């Protein structure tokens, strides 16, 4: 277990130690008496560390056990061990000594105690007992260590805490067996659970997988989680000369993160000559071909404003950053599309127009939905996007112009592994051999323990990754790279007994949207934002059980004219311009195929419930309108409930209120543990709000 505070040590020996122990005992009795009444046994007091002659006791288990025994005595109980406490987890060929120090991990009296006595957080031990699983399968570290210094504890980024550990506990940075930082601990769930079917609480690993896929790390590295991170080529560059301008391409090669924050493109340390050689070769590809053929027409000044209005109405901001257009909510969500802040410098209007008309024809397999746009809308959107340039920046040239003569683009492309992600005409298209990185996690965590990380950024001089000037930078300054640690935690090469491996559940066995709803799910790229049965994105809500949750008639209207359901979220369902027939096809498929057996098992008994009682209960004692709006009253933290009876099924309302975390682990709504009478009354009241 991870130690997060200075230890509680045994009293000094001799008369002075006895007097000190006596005074500490009186103080502890009084404090524990108060804390015991509150059920908050906190092991108050942190005596000085003994000047022990036996160096093995410095930071070892004996001082902890002696202090623990004293506290138990004050509580009127006993049971403190007086020697190593060995765990022999099921099926592992090792024994673990972590609980020799972490003595209260399963005792509710020590929920708020100082480390190493604190009870394990959450309810993880209910399903993952230490006796069966041990500690290191989740936390890493040295299994048979019996002292603080050798257990692999990773220091926080707080330099003073690290200095204190070094001085008081003889701590030293761990080697290859460093413990996993708690912020990355959900990655270890994948050692026993399928990566796309993690238990409640494992959601951060899904975010980390998305990041690794976006950064295309698997183009150069091999991971244990291969099905999710298999090599996926970026877009072909065979027509890039008809797509981008020379000025933008040169600036992008020099510093892609400055030009397009959040890009998956690594920032290489190209020389000026290499930039010129690569830009010249790329700009020569695709000139005069279909996508960029012809001259770009003059832009109608009025079309720019109409295009901006269309961008707002279509809710393009959900996926793309756009200058001067603010998000409506306040909960930040990751943008899955590129920033469009300087797209007018990058893309020629003719290419933008072709993309808006049919992005799947321009680049098959991309994640953007095919919006139902009219020709005038496409013209207006093209005009607006073409106007997005920095002051004084020129639009992209109509024809590609050579920037230099000579040079060897093949050598530069090979040096920087360009074809690992891109197909480039005229260059070797075979991706390079990948580096096996399945053992990288423990080493990364060991190095992490030795560094101060500011703002979650893991790169740059003196940082965790890419300290060699010749290596690429994957993250822009300030871009949060910590999810990468979560992913690496899941790639550890740890042998897991078959008895501990969890099978894939029916809910998460994957989903193929190519034929769903007559192919509409694929055409509209629903899985770019939504998860269905374990497959898809995390921008929008999980749709696995949407058919049991949503009413068909409401769905038909919403799919044609989506509005904000969760005001606090910045992400908004885009207006795809669906026809009524298309919306009906999607709605019929959702309500028939995406259903939960638990919700559909039976109708809730509301016969004896009274809606007027439920109306009172949503105000007091449960305070639903603190977070939800009903009519003209309430908050805007949770979804709008004014017409919730038209949106949600009665069955879903009942099961959701009964246990929200059963459906979404990290939901903000609390479980009120209502009695049956209140649950039925509130369900009836909400189901009548139409």
d(CA 418, CA 424): 8
Distances from the Cα of 669 to the Cα of 244, 562, 608, 661, 666, angstroms: 47, 24, 26, 8, 9
Q: Are the C-beta atoms of residues 679 and 658 closer than 8 Å to each other?
A: yes
Q: How many CB atoms lie within 10 A of CB 324?
A: 7
The class (CATH top level) of 611-687 is mainly alpha
Say yes or no to pLDDT of 435 above 60: yes
CATH superfamily of 296-397: Cytochrome c-like domain (1.10.760.10)
pLDDT band (50, 70, 90) for residue 426: confident
Q: Tens digits of per-residue pLDDT, 439-482? A: 666 666 666 655 554 444 555 544 555 544 455 777 776 677 77
Instruction: Look over the chain and give the mean of its residue pLDDT values, rounded to a whole number.
Output: 79
In the block, tokens 């004219």 appear at 561
pLDDT higher at 32 or 672: 672
Q: Which one, of 545, 546, 688, lies nearest residue 618 by Cα?
A: 688
On whether the 506-595 domain is CATH 1.10.760.10, my answer is: yes
Residue 47 banded pLDDT, cuts 50, 70, 90? very low
What is the reported pLDDT for 8?
32
The residues pairing with 60 across neighbouring beta strands, listed in sequence order, are 147
pLDDT of residue 569: 77
Task: Give the Cα-Cα-Cα angle 545, 627, 690 (nearest 5 degrees).
Answer: 60
**Whats the size of the chain, residue-wise?**
690
Which SS3 state, helix, strand or coil, does residue 320 take? coil
So what's the pLDDT on residue 195?
Answer: 83
What value does the mean pLDDT take over residues 391-411? Answer: 66
Question: What would the pLDDT profile of 368-386 be if each residue is shown by its tens digit?
Answer: 999 999 999 999 999 999 9
pLDDT attached to residue 365: 80
* Full DSSP string of 26-41: HHHHHHHHHHHHHT--
pLDDT of amino acid 400: 43
Three-class SS of residue 435? Answer: strand
Position 502 confidence tier, pLDDT thresholds 50, 70, 90:
confident
CA distance 285 to 241: 5
Give 560-572 pLDDT, tens digit per residue. Answer: 999 888 877 777 8
CA distance 508 to 534: 4
Mean pLDDT of 320-344: 82
Q: What angle do CA 524, 529, 534 make, to 5 degrees?
A: 105
Task: Provide the 3-class DSSP secondary structure of residue 567.
Answer: coil
Report the chain's terminal Cα–Cα distance, integer Å: 51
- Tell me if domain 296-397 and domain 611-687 are identical in fold: yes
Peptide bond into 554 cis (omega under 30): no
Question: ∠ CA 283-285-290 to the nearest 5 degrees?
Answer: 115
8 A C-beta contact, residue 441 and residue 190: no
Token pair of 292 as six digits: 């960029």
With tokens 């099926």, the residue in question is 91
**Every domain of the chain and the residues it spans:** 14-179, 184-231+434-499, 296-397, 506-595, 611-687
Q: What's the rounded Cα separation, in Å, for the pair 228 and 407?
A: 38
What band does 328 get if pLDDT is binned at 50, 70 and 90?
Answer: confident
Output the CA torsion 424→365→476→347 (10° steps): 70
**Environment class of residue 546 by beta-carbon count within 10 Å: exposed (0-12), middle (13-18) or buried (19+)?**
buried
Does residue 668 register a pLDDT over 50? yes
According to the model, what pLDDT value does residue 665 have? 72
Confidence of residue 52 (pLDDT cuts 50, 70, 90): very low
pLDDT per residue over 83-101, tens digit each? 999 999 988 888 999 999 9
């Amino acid at each position: 277990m991870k130690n997060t505070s200075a230890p509680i040590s045994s009293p000094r020996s001799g008369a002075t130690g006895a007097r000190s122990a006596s005074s500490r005992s009186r103080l502890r009795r009084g404090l524990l008496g108060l804390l015991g009444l509150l059920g908050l046994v906190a092991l108050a007091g942190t005596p000085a560390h003994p000047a022990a002659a036996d160096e093995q006791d410095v930071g070892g288990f004996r001082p902890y056990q002696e202090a623990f025994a004293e506290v138990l005595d004050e509580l009127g109980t006993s049971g403190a061990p007086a020697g190593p406490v060995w765990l022999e987890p099921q099926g592992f060929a090792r024994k673990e000594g972590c609980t020799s120090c972490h003595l209260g991990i399963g005792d509710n009296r020590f929920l708020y105690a100082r480390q190493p006595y604190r009870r394990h957080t959450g309810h993880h031990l209910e399903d993952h007992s230490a006796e069966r699983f041990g500690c290191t399968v989740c936390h890493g570290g040295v299994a048979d260590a019996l002292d603080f210094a050798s257990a692999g504890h990773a220091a926080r980024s707080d330099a003073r805490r690290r200095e204190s550990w070094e001085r008081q506990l003889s701590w030293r940075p761990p080697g290859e067996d460093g413990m996993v930082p708690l912020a990355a601990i959900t990655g270890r769930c994948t050692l026993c659970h399928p990566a796309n079917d993690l238990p409640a609480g494992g959601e951060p690993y899904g975010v980390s997988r998305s990041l690794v896929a976006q950064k295309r790390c698997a183009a150069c590295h091999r991971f244990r989680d291969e099905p999710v991170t298999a090599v996926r080529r970026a877009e072909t560059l065979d027509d890039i000369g008809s797509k981008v301008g020379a000025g933008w391409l040169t600036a992008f090669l020099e510093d892609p993160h400055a030009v397009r924050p959040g890009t998956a493109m690594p920032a290489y340390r190209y020389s000026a000559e290499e930039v010129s050689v690569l830009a010249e070769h790329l700009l020569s590809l695709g000139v005069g071909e279909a996508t960029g053929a012809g001259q770009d027409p003059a832009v109608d000044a009025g079309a720019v404003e109409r295009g901006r209005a269309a961008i707002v109405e279509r809710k393009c901001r959900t996926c793309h950053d756009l200058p001067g257009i603010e998000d409506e909510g306040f909960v930040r969500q990751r943008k899955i599309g590129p920033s469009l802040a300087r797209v007018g410098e990058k893309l020629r209007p003719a290419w933008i127009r072709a993309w808006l008309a049919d992005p799947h024809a321009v680049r098959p397999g991309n994640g953007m939905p095919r919006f139902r746009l009219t020709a005038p809308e496409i013209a207006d959107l093209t005009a607006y996007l073409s106007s997005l340039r920095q002051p004084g920046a020129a639009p992209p040239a109509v024809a590609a112009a050579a920037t230099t003569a000579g040079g060897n683009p093949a050598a530069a492309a090979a040096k920087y592994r360009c074809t690992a992600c891109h197909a480039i005409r005229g260059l070797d298209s075979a991706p390079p051999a990948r580096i096996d990185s399945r053992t990288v996690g423990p080493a990364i965590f060991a190095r992490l323990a030795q560094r101060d990380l500011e703002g979650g950024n893991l790169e740059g001089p003196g940082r965790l990754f890419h300290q060699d000037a010749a290596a690429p930078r994957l993250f822009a300054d300030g871009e949060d790279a910590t999810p990468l640690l979560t992913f690496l935690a899941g790639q550890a090469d740890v042998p897991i007994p078959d008895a501990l491996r969890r099978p894939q559940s029916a809910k998460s066995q994957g989903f193929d949207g190519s034929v769903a709803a007559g192919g509409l799910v694929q055409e509209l790229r629903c899985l770019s934002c939504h998860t269905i049965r374990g497959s898809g994105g995390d921008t929008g809500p999980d749709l696995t059980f949407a058919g049991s949750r949503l009413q068909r008639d409401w769905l038909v209207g919403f799919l044609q004219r989506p509005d904000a359901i969760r005001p606090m979220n910045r992400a908004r369902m885009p207006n795809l311009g669906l026809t009524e027939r298309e919306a009906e096809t999607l709605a019929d498929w959702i309500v028939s195929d995406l259903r939960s057996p638990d919700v559909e098992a039976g109708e809730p008994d509301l016969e004896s419930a009274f809606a007027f009682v439920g109306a009172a209960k949503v105000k007091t004692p449960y305070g639903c309108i603190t977070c939800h709006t009903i009519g003209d009253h309430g908050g805007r933290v949770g979804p709008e409930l004014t017409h919730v009876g038209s949106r949600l099924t009665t069955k879903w309302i009942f099961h959701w209120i009964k246990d929200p975390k059963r459906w979404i682990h990290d939901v903000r709504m609390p479980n009120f543990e209502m009695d049956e009478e209140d649950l039925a009354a509130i369900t009836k009241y909400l189901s009548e709000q139409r």
